[in-house]
Amino acid sequence: MRKTISESYTPIDRLKEISNWVSSVLDLDHLLELIIDSATRMMKAKASSLLLLDPKTRKLYFKVATGEKKEEVRKYEIDMGQGIAGYVAQKGEPLLIPDVTKDSRWYKVISESTGFETKSIACVPMEMDGQVIGVVEIIDKEDGSAIREEDMNTLTVFAQLASLAISNARKFDQFKKENRDLREELETKYQIIGDSPVFQKVLSDAFKVANSKTTTLLVGESGTGKELLARLIHRAGPRKDKPMIILNCAALPETLLEAELFGYEKGAFTGALARNAGKFELADEGTIFLDEIGEMTPGMQAKLLRVLQEGIFYRVGGNKSISVDVRVISATNRNIAEEVAEGRFREDLYYRLNVVRLNIPPLRERKADIPLLANYFLEEFSIENGSPGMKISDQAMKKMLEYDWPGNVRELRNALERAVVMGNGQEVVSEDLPITGIKAAPSGLEFGLTLKEALDHFKKEFVTLNLQNTGGNRSKAAKVMGIQRTYLSRLISKYNIIGI
Ligand SMILES: Nc1ncnc2c1ncn2[C@@H]1O[C@H](COP(=O)(O)OP(=O)(O)O)[C@@H](O)[C@H]1O
Ligand SMILES: [Mg+2]
């Protein structure tokens, strides 16, 4: 519904109301109409208009016009320096002309062709960041008298309001555009690559959990892409426009970690000069990603558990409970079930975090992803390095496929970065890769193990290998290995074989 102004308002009331609109009405065209309409009524003018300067053509065009001939005048464009509006726009100074017929600057054409009789005109410039962006003008009083000097102040205030409205709207558009650009950049920056069946399964599970608020635990060796996956889950879900806050639990000692997570009140400890919001507060309505959760001390584990159970927490040194709506994703590269079994990680916290668990298999267990990832990173770094279109030689690819990648995708990425920087700018050859290419010793074949340990290593690898080659089909794998399916299942849980 459009607002109209009651005639009984005092001028100050009107101005206050208009100021409110300037900060609340987001539709610029509507807002400018309101402003001009108010100006017209307040000064009892016969007609008024707002002209904007088109920065490309350097011509003024009618953005808003009131009065009998408001539709007709919109056809006209005015050059800089032409007529009174053009003069004001060029000089950047207000102008009051009591009798236009006596002023040589008057551009009669519009008035004559529309048949609108004009006696006096007041015109003031609109400015933004020191530049003229347009003008506001009024023509004659309703009673036919000339515009007076005191009307100039009022008109100036309206012109300022209009500039403010335009400036706000332009900034808002600018923000929207920047926001969109950043988002696009993020999407490409955080692309997740991999088409091996095991990895595709992880991704499809991730998309499933993304839609809910379910607390999710990501388990995988360092460099397998846990953080990347956490970002994907956040971005693919309904919270994507809210913040995702990341905290590495291993990086800080307990006291600092507590302050980071929950925030603190002024004076809570030496150096707490002002109240500070914690990561949980910052993540309100969004997601918190607790990385390396397995490194949390028992004390912190207890505090985190309380937040997850009760949904509230206190800032350090504070006694007001704070409740937030946060989705929790945590990650660890440890065998967390073993940590629990051995009493290093609280079982109750584990169950809270492990509502859904996604296991990201190490790169050596999804070698099918290597060519795709390698080419993806190659493209990224070769463009960055100013040598786009680089290729990977067959020999180099073979070496990458044979290698074990203990540092997983992170190591692969670093290897390609180095290869691009150190290489010949056209093709990555074997020698450019900072990896040995020596195959790891078969599992279990290591000095220092007991026979039982060696056999366990071997069995785990052997079972994994067979599951991979049968697409995770336990019956088929058991058949190939010549064992019972139930025995295979026992081995899978005994060795904690994941991700297949
Ligand atoms: N599937 C993937 N596709 C593209 N890049 C990946 C993938 N997995 C990992 N990366 C990249 O490898 C590096 C390590 O990933 P990260 O998520 O930090 O691993 P983690 O948290 O498990 O240690 C990052 O640069 C990440 O962008
Ligand atoms: Mg990480």
Looking at residue 187, its pLDDT comes to 73
160: CATH = 3.30.450.40
* Domain assignment present for 437: no
Looking at residue 327, its pLDDT comes to 96
Q: Are residues 329 and 371 in the same domain?
A: no
Cα–Cα distance between 500 and 485 in angstroms, integer? 15
304: CATH = 3.40.50.300
Q: Which ligand is nearest to the CA of 206?
A: 1
Q: How far is the CA of 222 from the centre of ligand 2 (A)?
A: 6
Q: Are residues 426 and 456 in the same domain?
A: no
Looking at residue 294, its pLDDT comes to 93
* Domain assignment present for 194: no
Q: How far is the CA of 209 from the centre of ligand 1 (A)?
A: 19
Q: Which ligand is nearest to the CA of 191?
A: 1
* Domain assignment present for 444: no
Contact 240, 353 (CB under 8 A): no
**Region label for 144, one of left (φ > 0), alpha (ψ between -120 and 50) or beta (otherwise):** left
Looking at residue 145, its pLDDT comes to 85
Q: Are residues 114 and 159 in the same domain?
A: yes
Q: Are residues 48 and 154 in the same domain?
A: yes
The closest-lying atom of ligand 1 relative to the alpha carbon of residue 228 is 17
3-state DSSP assignment of residue 140: strand
The first and second tokens of residue 264, run together, are: 């603190």
Protein residue with least CA distance to atom 27, ligand 1: 228
Q: How far is the CA of 408 from the centre of ligand 1 (A)?
A: 8
Q: How far is the CA of 146 from the centre of ligand 1 (A)?
A: 73
Ligand 1 lining (C-beta closer than 6 Å): 192-194, 220, 222-228, 373, 409-410, 413
Protein residue with least CA distance to atom 7, ligand 1: 225
Residue 499: which of 407, 362, 405 has the closest Cα?
A: 362
Q: Are residues 405 and 464 in the same domain?
A: no
Q: How far is the CA of 372 from the centre of ligand 1 (A)?
A: 14
Of 305, 337, 354, the last residue of a domain is 354
Q: Which ligand is nearest to the CA of 358?
A: 1
The closest-lying atom of ligand 1 relative to the alpha carbon of residue 222 is 23
* Domain assignment present for 128: yes
The closest-lying atom of ligand 1 relative to the alpha carbon of residue 218 is 22
487: CATH = 1.10.10
Cα–Cα distance between 44 and 302 in angstroms, integer? 71
3-state per-residue secondary structure call for 238-300: CCCCCCEEEEECCCCCHHHHHHHHHEECCCCCCCCCCCEECHHHHCCCCEEEEECHHHCCHHH
* Domain assignment present for 198: no
Contact 336, 345 (CB under 8 A): yes
**Region label for 420, one of left (φ > 0), alpha (ψ between -120 and 50) or beta (otherwise):** alpha
Q: How far is the CA of 249 from the centre of ligand 1 (A)?
A: 18
Q: What is the pLDDT of residues 206-230, one digit of tens each?
A: 999 999 999 999 999 999 999 999 9
Q: Are residues 345 and 376 in the same domain?
A: no
The closest-lying atom of ligand 1 relative to the alpha carbon of residue 369 is 1
* Domain assignment present for 111: yes
Q: Are residues 309 and 367 in the same domain?
A: no
Looking at residue 100, its pLDDT comes to 87
| DSSP string for 50-108 | EEEEETTTTEEEEEEE-STTHHHHTT-EEETTSHHHHHHHHHT--EEES-GGG-TT--H
Looking at residue 62, its pLDDT comes to 93
The closest-lying atom of ligand 1 relative to the alpha carbon of residue 291 is 21
Q: Are residues 24 and 165 in the same domain?
A: yes
Q: Are residues 167 and 255 in the same domain?
A: no
Host domain of residue 251: 220-354
Q: Are residues 61 and 101 in the same domain?
A: yes
* Domain assignment present for 2: no
Give me Rg for the CA atoms of the chain.
35
Of 354, 378, 398, the last residue of a domain is 354
Q: Are residues 99 and 157 in the same domain?
A: yes
Q: How far is the CA of 223 from the centre of ligand 1 (A)?
A: 6
Number of domains the chain is built from: 4
* Domain assignment present for 6: no
Ranges of residues in the chain with a pLDDT under 70 are 1-9, 11, 22-26, 437-442, 499-500
428: CATH = 1.10.8.60
Q: Are residues 73 and 135 in the same domain?
A: yes
